[in-house]
Amino acid sequence: MSMPLPSAASYPHLTFGVQDTPILAGTTMKVVELVMAQQAHGWSPEELHFQYPHLPLGQIYAALAYYWDHQQELDVDIERRSRYADAARQEAGPSPLADKLRHTAI
C-alpha cells in the first residue's frame, strides 16, 4: 500500500523541499539530519533542543514523529548519505593535519 504524499497540514512544523524532502520549517535543516544527530549521539528531544536552541521543542517532536511515520523511506536516505560520506572520506585520504597532530610530541 502506498503512503499518501505528506502535506503541510499533516506536519505543520515542517515544509517539503525538492523531491518532497521534509525540512524543519523556517530552517534549512532536513528531518534526516536531525534524526542522524539523534541516532549518532543518543540524544533525547530535550537534548536535541539544548544542542539546537534555535529549534522549538514542538518542531523537534514533529520532525521525530515524521521520521517514525516514514521510517523505512528515511532510513534509505540516511543509509545513502552515510555511504556518500564514507566514500568521500576514503577518496580524500588521510588528513595531513590529523597525521601531524598524531605524531607531534606533547
Per-residue model confidence (pLDDT) at position 94: 83
pTM score of the predicted model: 0.75
pLDDT band at 86 (very low <50, low <70, confident <90, very high): confident
**Overall average pLDDT of the 1-15 stretch:** 67
Cβ atoms within 10 Å, residue 1: 3
Per-residue model confidence (pLDDT) at position 50: 97
Extents of the domains making up the chain: 45-89
Of residues 14 and 97, the one with the higher pLDDT is 14
